[in-house]
Structure 1
Amino acid sequence: MEKTTIKVGALPIPDPVSLYIAKAKGYFEAEGLTVEPVQITGGAAALPQIESGALDISMTNYVSTFAAVEQGKKIKLVADMYQAGPNMFNIMVPKDSPIKTVADLKGKTIFVNNLHNVATLAVETQLKVAGLTADDVKFAEKPFPEMGNAVNSGQADACWITEPFITANQSAFGFRTLADTMTGQTEELPIAGWMATEEWTKKYPKTLAAFNRAISKAQQAASSDRKEIEKMLPTYTKIDAKTASVITLGTYPSELNANRLQKVADLMLEYGYLKNSIDVKSVIATPLSG
């Protein structure tokens, strides 16, 4: 093994739960790895940290990754993490809002956690179905935890929001779902994965293979028993046990599938997030055979 201790960047959200499952269940240890989770502020923010070597591996979302690859960043996807399911990423409005359909968003302001990323892309696919484009609405940035209060006080008309905040805003304000943005073109959209620099994957192939085996095993544990996820969430997120038991979760694929990920790059090209098409196979790190 080339490296026995690695630092891995993760956000305090449900997506990277396998990292914590693998650590708790001794999957990394069994592979001879010591993994130190490091809390990051966002996938894009983690890019300089993997480039500088402050992190060995980090979580990322696929939209950010493909945008970075087009800009010439030498990064590789090393493992899958999270895929969208129904009612996980919703456009929500206050209960007494006059907005009844996606078409009613014309001329309105929508809060998203990041501009020109997964949020706006997901909303744009729904606008398209309603005969609108991104130019028909105004997108504004607001962190997920602040969206509910901000929409409630009239700073925006709607918000694109994920769990546990969907559940929280339903119970606190009676917010209602205007649209599930992971339907149609975005059904089962791959959301997040693990990345490393190309240089790192070439330098430490055995370390990477060990990380992959442990993560894949943990993804399988998460997929087969929701209780494993519920037990782990309160240990690294602000989600308490009660909320963990009711929130809507996506799925945890145990292998990177180029065809599945290609859908993200193709959507980005269609909606102008990429200038040129990307062959996703070229972005996936080639695992050690055997």
Structure 2
Amino acid sequence: MKQRKEKWDVKWVVGLILLVSLVLTACGNGNSASNSKGSNSSNSNTSETKVETPSSASPSETRDITIRIGYQKYGTINILKADGSLDKRLADERNIKIEWTEFPGGPQLLEALNVGSIDIGHTGEAPPIFAQAAGAPLVYLAHEPASPKSEGIIVPKDSPIQSVADLKGKTIVLNKGSNVHYLLVKQLEKHGVSYKDVTVKYLPPADGRAAFEKGSADAWVIWDPFLAAAETATGGRVLADGEGVVSNHEFYLATREFAEKYPDLVNILLEEADKIDAWSKEHPQELAEKLSPQLGIDVESLVLAAERRNYGVQSIDAELIKAQQAIADTFLDLELIPKKLDINDAILK
């Protein structure tokens, strides 16, 4: 009996071991399947990267947020800020706040957009070219009509320089990458002067004005209202403006993420811009008086600037894209940007 009992114990132990082994094997197979699935998924992601694009937010999702808008010392967005109409509409309809940030020029504004400090802004034609070349995730939203007389090359009132051709060998100051950069290039080209035959120093508007007044520059290439203020305060002469040479458009720009996620807010911005444009066109004096305290520029200069600017929000079309492409190609030829650009890459589809 004792021998039989020992045999029975051995059989029982062996059976128990086999049972446990089966259970562990089943668990292992479940884990292996899961791991295999995860591995395949990982391999799939490696071989084919899916680019996620932000989906449009519903109206309910565009409440209680803050929009960060960059502006300069002139332009329709600047007028919107002074008027307060956009702030009021967004606050009343969506409980949305606007965080306004001022920049000395378009290049500085788009640098902020590039690093994610603002969502929307406005600049002239040239800054988006430099920003796109630097990899900024910008898109064009709309533009204002051409205002070629709103920028120019100004010289001191007693300067012996009488034409753009006389700028050969001279020192010129301007804000690098701004609209006036392109104006200088095209005016020199028109008058047979090589860009390499002038000395260009890059200064933001405030420093450019100081250099101009001190006589440390022979000419200053600048836009309104700084151009108008220099004319009225110093008696400086506009040697040439953009008439017949450049268009000088003002663009509305945004990060691609913002434009694709909040198209309804973009539409509201453009609607309010068009409304304030219509009013501004008919009321240059009142506009100047509204802007003067905010800008710290006298009313007389602002009236001068307002009367030579054109107004009205317009959509981005094929002709406009072609014009921007020509500017980009010009800057590439002058080695002012490092690579060839396709403007269509910055257009909302």
Same fold (TM over 0.5): yes
Corresponding residue for 1:255? 314
2:224 matches 1:163: yes
Q: Secondary structure at the match of 1:184?
A: coil
1:19 Cα offset (Å): 2.2
Corresponding residue for 1:20? 81
Corresponding residue for 1:213? 271
Aligned-residue sequence identity (percent) comes to 25
Contact 2:114 2:136 in 1 (8 A): no
Q: Secondary structure at the match of 2:62?
A: coil
1:149 Cα offset (Å): 4.2
In the alignment, the residues of structure 1 paired with residue 74 and residue 267 of structure 2 have an alpha-carbon distance, to the nearest angstrom, of 25
1:140 Cα offset (Å): 0.7
What amino acid sits opposite 2:330 in the alignment?
Answer: E
Contact 1:103 1:132 in 2 (8 A): yes
RMSD: 2.8
Corresponding residue for 2:130? 67
Contact 2:113 2:136 in 1 (8 A): no
Contact 1:93 1:175 in 2 (8 A): yes
What amino acid sits opposite 1:168 in the alignment?
Answer: A
Corresponding residue for 1:234? 292
1:110 Cα offset (Å): 0.6
What amino acid sits opposite 1:163 in the alignment?
Answer: D
Corresponding residue for 1:144? 205
Corresponding residue for 1:85? 148
Q: Secondary structure at the match of 1:119?
A: helix
| 2:342 maps to which of 273, 278, 281 | 278
1:228 Cα offset (Å): 5.0
Contact 1:63 1:265 in 2 (8 A): no
1:134 Cα offset (Å): 0.6
**Larger relative contact order (C-alpha < 8 A, sep ≥ 6)?**
1
Contact 2:138 2:253 in 1 (8 A): yes
Q: Secondary structure at the match of 1:245?
A: helix
Superposition TM-score, scaled by structure 1 size: 0.82
Greater alpha carbon shift after TM alignment, 118-127 vs 168-177: 168-177
Corresponding residue for 1:119? 180
Corresponding residue for 2:329? 269
**Could you give the per-residue CA deviations for residues 190-219 of structure 1, whole angstroms, max 9, x where no partner exists?**
1x3222211222222222222222223223
2:67 matches 1:3: no
**Could you give the per-residue CA deviations for residues 36-90 of structure 1, whole angstroms, max 9, x where no partner exists?**
322234333334543554322122333121232244332112232574232x212
**Could you give the per-residue CA deviations for residues 120-170 of structure 1, whole angstroms, max 9, x where no partner exists?**
210111111111121110111233234344234331111112333334333
What amino acid sits opposite 1:153 in the alignment?
Answer: K
Corresponding residue for 2:121? 58
In the alignment, the residues of structure 2 paired with residue 231 and residue 177 of structure 1 have an alpha-carbon distance, to the nearest angstrom, of 25
Structure 1 residues 279, 211: closer, same or farther in 2, change over 3 A? same
2:251 matches 1:196: no
Q: Which runs of 4+ in 1 moved over 4 A?
A: 25-31
Superposition TM-score, scaled by structure 2 size: 0.70
1:235 Cα offset (Å): 4.2
Contact 2:179 2:248 in 1 (8 A): no
In the alignment, the residues of structure 1 paired with residue 286 and residue 213 of structure 2 have an alpha-carbon distance, to the nearest angstrom, of 34
Corresponding residue for 1:174? 235
Q: Which structure: greater helix fraction? A: 2
1:239 Cα offset (Å): 1.9
Contact 1:91 1:178 in 2 (8 A): yes
| 1:104 maps to which of 166, 174, 186 | 166
1:220 Cα offset (Å): 2.8
Corresponding residue for 2:48? none
What amino acid sits opposite 2:153 in the alignment?
Answer: I
In the alignment, the residues of structure 2 paired with residue 127 and residue 201 of structure 1 have an alpha-carbon distance, to the nearest angstrom, of 37
Bigger-Rg structure (1/2): 2
Q: How many residues align?
A: 280
